[in-house]
Amino acid sequence: MDFVPEASRTTPISWLCHDDFDRQRMLEMEERIRPVRRRAAIIMALAILAASPWLGWWPLGFVVTIMGGFAAADLMMPKLARPELLMFGAWVGSVLTIAIAVALSGPHGTGALPLLAIPVLTLSSRFSTRGVIVGVSISVALAFAVGFGRDTHTVLANPVLLIIPVALILCAAVLSTPLMESDIKHRSAAVIDQLTGMLNRHALALRVQELTEQAAVTGEPIGLIVGDIDRFKAVNDTYGHPVGDAVLKDVAYVLRKQLRAFDLAYRLGGEEFLVLLPGADLQSAEELAERLREAVCTDPLGPGVSLSMSFGVSLSARGATFDYASELARADAALYEAKREGRDRVCVATDARSPVPA
Just list the catalytic residues: 271
Distance in angstroms (rounded) separating the CA atoms of residues 212 and 322: 5
Contact 220, 284 (CB under 8 A): no
Helix (H, G, I), strand (E, B) or coil at 268: strand
CB 126, CB 29: distance < 8 Å: yes
58: helix, strand or coil = coil
Closest CA to 81 of 6, 16, 152: 16
Of 195, 299, 202, 182, whose CA–CA distance to 249 is shortest?
195
Rounded CA separation 106/151 (Å): 10
CA 149, CA 151: separation in Å to the nearest integer?
Answer: 6
Name the CA radius of gyration of the chain, rounded: 25
Residue 2 burial (CB count, 10 A) = 6
